[in-house]
Structure 1
Amino acid sequence: MSKEIRSDLYKRLNKDDAVVLLVDHQTGLLSLVRDIQPDQFKNNVLALADVAKYFNLPTILTTSFEDGPNGPLVPELREIFPDAPFIARPGQINAWDNEEFVAAVKATGRKQIIIAGVVTEVCVAFPALSALGEGYEVFVVTDASGTFNDITRNSALQRMQAAGAQLTSWFAVAGELHRDWRNDVIGLGTLFSNHIPDYRNLINSYIRASASK
């Protein structure tokens, strides 16, 4: 007798109901990230952005107090999403306190929020908790979010998870949205190989084997 998967335990990401929020990936704030190696962290952020673009997910960019030490948004994100809503918050620390930002989220009509940002315990946790309070399903991309050290990271993740957020990674997000390799082997495989050097060996082997058939 087959076992049914309990929907209350497995909230599966749906590409038709998900929106991506990239919060405060700013040049100044990135210098604070110490729980992930700097090069790896930026790679993870750009990988998540590429996943959002690949699946054509609505994506909202926001920054906080750009005129201060936080600095401007990482330029690559504007290049990937030139037409995405971009909310430069004048001072609100919690992005959910900014009416324009919340309006942009609600305008998508989507109820699953995929969120990442800097720093984890503030720029990610505050809007994540606020969105949970308004009935959204929240998926925190932990490896595209960064902070000062493992202590602050762990406390932030525990706080969000206790409130109902799901913790995930950019690679898991891609796999869950894709559902079935037969949907597009080369496209997703190329995305993975662009951000995971060892994965390039897999996709190159697959391409060569497929060409020889």
Structure 2
Amino acid sequence: MLKAEECVLVIVDVQGKLAKVVRQSEQLQHKLHTLVKAAQLFDMPILWLEQIPEKLGATTEEIANILKQSTTPIAKQHFSGWQAEAFQQQLKALGTKQVILAGVETHVCVYQTCRDLLDNGYQTHIVVDAMSSRTEANKQSGIAMMQQHGALITNVESLLFELQHQAQGERFNALLKLIK
């Protein structure tokens, strides 16, 4: 079972026009919003990646506004976030080996980040309803590729209840409000 104090949430490239043209963009934004707000409820560290933001644009306003409450973006040039030195440094400084991964595009940047995380000894949980690609086939193949290499599949609601462990308390009530 995952424990919030042993995890880090990584949000990958929810930027500019691409974030608006991926499949089910509005639903994706909602799931990411829920995921980030919940991570903040758990005091979970969040690493936030942006692919060449000066060319592709900034993270969508809805997601950036809540991410700014607890973190700042890490710009990257490679498709994999692992290749950004600042990402590696911040991740290693956290001392955790469990990564919760979400964002776009599933079959490119999320996949390559996941592969590098797995190859470097990180247990990686992919939140399949908080990631997307321009086509459903690309999303599904990205999920399958990550799973073939050892990524564990979850979804926002399952993840949040796994992290919560029990159906009581103020945080539980706040999670219920986020999910509904």
| TM-score bracket for the superposition, by shorter chain length | over 0.9
Structure 2 regions of 5+ residues with no counterpart? Answer: none
Q: Is residue 85–residue 104 contact of structure 1 (8 Å, CA) maintained in 2?
A: no
- Partner of 1:114: helix, strand, or coil? strand
Counterpart secondary structure, 1:164: coil
TM-score of the two chains, using structure 1 as the length reference: 0.79
State the SS of the aligned residue for 2:71.
Answer: coil
Amino acid at match of 2:51: S
Asked if structure 1 preserves the Cα contact closer than 8 Å seen for 2:15 and 2:57, the reply is yes
Secondary structure in 1 aligned to 2:159?
helix
Q: Paired residue for 1:196? A: none
Determine if the alignment matches structure 1 residue 15 to structure 2 residue 1: no
Corresponding position of 2:108: 122
Aligned to 2:18: 29
Residue 58 (structure 2) pairs with residue 72 (structure 1): yes
Structure 2 CA distance for aligned equivalents of residues 54 and 174 of structure 1: 10
Q: Secondary structure at the match of 2:4?
A: coil
Counterpart Cα distance in 2 of 1:188 and 1:64: 30
Sequence identity percentage: 29
User: If each structure's strand is expressed as a fraction of its own residues, which one has the higher value?
Assistant: 2
Aligned residues: 178
Contact 2:13 2:51 in 1 (8 A): yes
Shift of 1:181: 0.6
1 or 2 for the larger relative contact order (CA 8 Å, sep ≥6)? 2
Mapping of residues 27-106 of structure 1, within 5 Å: 27-34=16-23, 37-68=24-55, 70-82=56-68, 83-89=70-76, 91-106=77-92
Distance between the aligned counterparts of 1:30 and 1:85, measured in 2? 18
Q: 1:204 maps to what in 2?
A: none
Distance 1:52 1:33 in 2: 24
Aligned letter for 2:8? V
Question: Which structure has the greater CA radius of gyration?
Answer: 1
The answer as to whether partners of 1:28 and 1:72 remain within 8 angstroms in 2 is: no
Q: How many angstroms does 1:117 deviate by?
A: 1.2
What letter matches 1:28 in structure 2? K
Once residues 72 and 159 of structure 2 are traced to their aligned partners in structure 1, the CA distance between those partners, rounded to angstroms, is 22
114 and 62 in structure 1: CA distance in 2 versus 1, 3 angstrom threshold: same
The alignment's C-alpha RMSD in Å is 1.4
Deviations 1:158-193 (A, max 9, x none): 111011101111111101000001233422222222
> Deviations along 1:34-93, whole A, 9 cap, x unmatched?
2xx22211111111111111111000111011121x21112233322324142122x222
Residues 1:168 and 2:157 aligned together: no
Distance 1:39 1:81, change over 3 A: closer
Counterpart amino acid of residue 23 in structure 1: V
SS at match of 1:116: strand
The match for 1:191 is 178
- Structure 1, unaligned stretches of length 5 or more? 1-11, 194-213
Correspondences of 1:137-148 after superposition (within 5 Å): 137-148=123-134
2:22–2:134 CA contact under 8 A, matched in 1: yes
Deviates more, 1:77-86 or 1:138-147: 77-86
